[in-house]
Amino acid sequence: MDPDSFTPDREIWTPPGGPPQTDRIPAAVYETMGEDNIVAFTRAFYRRLAASKISHLFPKGERNLIKAADKSAAMNVFLFGGPHLYQQRHGPPRLRMRHMPFVIDEDARREWMRCFRETLQEATREYGMPAEHIPAVALFFDGFSRWMVNTRRD
C-alpha cells in the first residue's frame, strides 16, 4: 500500500505532545555493533513480531518478512548512529505517515514493545549491542512506539 495515497476509513488519533522528545541513541551503538549486527538484530525482532499477537500487521512468508525487516534495519542503522541508509534507499522516513494504513492501538504498541524488549535481552550476547546503552535504546523505542499509535480504543 502506498502511504502517500492512503485515505483513512477510520478516525485517526494523534498522541498528545507531538513526536517523542527523547535523546538520540548513542553513536557508540552503531560503532560497536556495525551494520551486519544491526540487520541481524532487526531480523530477529521481526521474527518475533511474525509470531506475535500482531503478526497480521507484518508481511507473510520468510522472504517478505526479511525484506520488511531489512527496510527497518536501514532505519535502525541511522537511529543507532550510523549512516542515513534508509533515507538514501527510501527517501524521507515519514514513519508515522507510513504506518497510517495499519490500525495501531495501545495494545498493539505494547505487544510490539514486548517483542522489542525480548530482542534487546539477547542484544549484547547475540548482536554485540553495548549493554550500557540498552536502557537508552529501550527508552528511545518506547517513545517512538507511542508516537506510532494512531487508533484510540475506549
Amino acid at 51: A
Range of the domain at 78: 25-148
Amino acid at 34: G
Tens of pLDDT along 48-98?
999 999 999 999 999 999 999 999 999 999 999 999 999 999 999 999 999
Residue 148 in this model has a pLDDT that exceeds 90: yes
Burial category of 101 from C-beta neighbours within 10 Å (exposed 0-12, middle 13-18, buried 19 and up): middle
9, part of any domain: no
Residue 2 in this model has a pLDDT that exceeds 70: no
Distance linking the first and last C-alpha atoms of the chain: 28
17, part of any domain: no
Q: How many helices (H) and strands (E) does the chain have?
A: 7, 0
Reported pTM:
0.92
Give the pLDDT confidence score for residue 17 in this predicted structure.
84
CA-CA-CA-CA dihedral for 71, 100, 81, 87, to nearest 10: 60
Please give the residue that has the higher pLDDT: either 86 or 153: 86
Give the pLDDT confidence score for residue 20 in this predicted structure.
81
Amino acid at 106: E
CATH of the domain at 136: 1.10.490.10
Q: Is the distance from CB of 46 to CB of 58 less than 8 angstroms?
A: yes
Tens of pLDDT along 26-56?
999 999 999 999 999 999 999 999 999 999 9
10, part of any domain: no
The average pLDDT across 111-119 equals 98
The whole-angstrom separation of Cα 39 and Cα 74 is 8
C-alpha grid cell for residue 76? 535502525
Nearest to 59 by CA among 80, 43, 76: 43
Give the pLDDT confidence score for residue 21 in this predicted structure.
76
Residue 1 in this model has a pLDDT that exceeds 60: no
153, part of any domain: no
As for how many domains the chain has, the answer is: 1
Confidence of residue 18 (pLDDT cuts 50, 70, 90): confident
Residue 145 in this model has a pLDDT that exceeds 60: yes
The DSSP code for 12 is P
